[in-house]
Amino acid sequence: MLSELLDKARADSPLWLPELREVFLNDPTARPVILRLTLRDGTKRDFPCAVPKWENDEERHFCAEFLYACVYNCLAAYSGRELRLFFDIGDTELLALGSTLDAVFQVNEPRRRGFGKVISIADRIARSYGGPAFRFVLEAIADYAPLPAKAEKEAAAPLDEKLRALCRGASTLRLCGIDVGGTDIKLAASDGERLICTREFDWNPAACETVEEIIGPILLLTRLMRACVAAEKALLPVETSAALTEALEKDAPLPRVRAAVEAVEDYLGGKVNVLDGVGLSFPDIVIRDRILGGETPKTDEMRKNTAVDYETAFAKLGTLGDALLSLCRERSRHRGAHGGGGDPAPAAGDVRPDPRPRQLPVPRLPPGRSPKHAQRKLRPCRGAALHGSGGSLPPRVEAGAEAA
């Protein structure tokens, strides 16, 4: 069987991981392995798989890559604080393979790449909640006990109902929405059912060497949205109003934007603080409004910058929501949504204003205005295929290799 699979791989035919898993699980000669993942909150999940017996080094390498892919996909999808592998400890081949996980995933390395990125993410999430660093544990399958059956959950309300409820709850509020992308930032501000203003800003966060270069434009542009909402019902000096209008132009540089915003803030004083909430879409792992991933291209240069401690800098980026909240009125809320893979963000990302019952119509755009939908980038599932054109795994770092 392995020889046939290797022939397909050499022919550049895709070998999909779910299909390989089913084939190996149904092979009576394959050796069972159960992956038990402990999540951040202590919840456990089991993922059964099996590793075939190999006859030569090429087949062993194929089986190793299969196991690493299964481990990687579990951690990429859920993250977690521990992955326990149950198998026949007396099988010296499997024991030797399992013993390579720490090195392949660079568990004890300060800087990681490839497979090791999921460990960096797991450790950041753990630190943010005061938990221990991630670890692998090898245990005899004789000690395995199935997890208790889960109680069935009540069916959740359909998504369209949830979205309409959010709209009804927000239809008397002043809100700002932000979509942070890899090449631009899109913002919009509304007052109840009326769209007040929009702004698009081209940028390249991957070239930013410090966290301030990433956070600064986001906060400044949010202040611009707030100034526009506050100024709509205020009588501004002509030159201040003209500068604010120019600041909304796509090509307006940040120094001009800052000057316009500060002029409005100086003129209105405390009256500029009118926002009820901010919704942020940020392409990373977001848990309870905190950015916790840190392995996306947006922070590449910051990661390479030896003049700063990356973990400290990224922790500051993780609290971007608190900074946005400071731009809102008291008792208002910010909500973050994620746009990438990894540990999923809970619930739909949107503003969470104070809960006040309302029965109001769904917000409408003014006549003649059409909504601009933010581009959504769909990324292929990493590790979907072991070999061939159907996808690829991150490069594996051999033990002793220099971590990037």
Q: Give the pLDDT confidence of 354-373 residue by residue, as tens digits.
A: 333 322 222 333 334 333 33
pLDDT computed for residue 226 by the predictor: 97
Lowest-pLDDT choice from 6-10, 42-46, 332-336: 332-336
- Say whether both 119 and 178 belong to one domain: no
- Say whether both 127 and 37 belong to one domain: yes
How far is it, in rounded angstroms, from Cα 366 to Cα 352? Answer: 24
- Say whether both 136 and 42 belong to one domain: yes
pLDDT computed for residue 245 by the predictor: 95
Q: Write the burial class of residue 183 (CB in 10 Å: 0-12 exposed, 13-18 middle, 19+ buried).
A: exposed
- Domain range for 6: 2-143
Once rounded to an integer, what is the mean pLDDT over residues 232-249?
A: 94
The pairing of beta strand 277-282 with beta strand 174-180: parallel
- Say whether both 186 and 127 belong to one domain: no
pLDDT in tens, 247-256: 999 999 999 9
Do the domain assignments include residue 366? no
Do the domain assignments include residue 90? yes
Please provide residue 342's backbone torsions phi and psi, each rounded to the nearest 5 degrees: 105, -160
How far is it, in rounded angstroms, from Cα 129 to Cα 66? Answer: 32
How far is it, in rounded angstroms, from Cα 132 to Cα 232? Answer: 50
Report how many domains make up the chain. 2
- Say whether both 224 and 91 belong to one domain: no
Do the domain assignments include residue 166? no
pLDDT computed for residue 348 by the predictor: 29
Rounded-to-5 percentages of helix, strand, coil across the chain: 40, 15, 45
- Please state, rounded to an integer, the average pLDDT across all residues of the chain: 82
Q: Is the per-residue pLDDT at 241 higher than 90?
A: yes
Q: Among 311, 338, 365, where does a domain finish?
A: 338
How far is it, in rounded angstroms, from Cα 27 to Cα 21? Answer: 10
pLDDT computed for residue 336 by the predictor: 52
Whether the model pTM is above 0.75: no
- Say whether both 179 and 101 belong to one domain: no
- Say whether both 218 and 320 belong to one domain: yes
Q: Among 310, 338, 366, where does a domain finish?
A: 338
Banded model confidence at residue 332, pLDDT cuts 50, 70, 90: low
pLDDT computed for residue 345 by the predictor: 33
Q: Among 125, 143, 161, where does a domain finish?
A: 143
Q: What is the CATH number of the domain that holds 239?
A: 3.30.420.40
Do the domain assignments include residue 152? no
pLDDT computed for residue 154 by the predictor: 76
- Say whether both 113 and 61 belong to one domain: yes
Q: Is the per-residue pLDDT at 389 higher than 60?
A: no
Banded model confidence at residue 92, pLDDT cuts 50, 70, 90: very high
Q: In whole angstroms, what separates CA 126 from the centre of its chain?
A: 15
Do the domain assignments include residue 371? no
pLDDT in tens, 17-61: 999 999 999 999 999 999 999 998 899 999 999 999 999 999 999
- Say whether both 104 and 7 belong to one domain: yes
- Say whether both 242 and 304 belong to one domain: yes
- The better pLDDT of the pair 33, 158 is held by 33
Do the domain assignments include residue 361? no
Do the domain assignments include residue 37? yes
- Say whether both 186 and 327 belong to one domain: yes
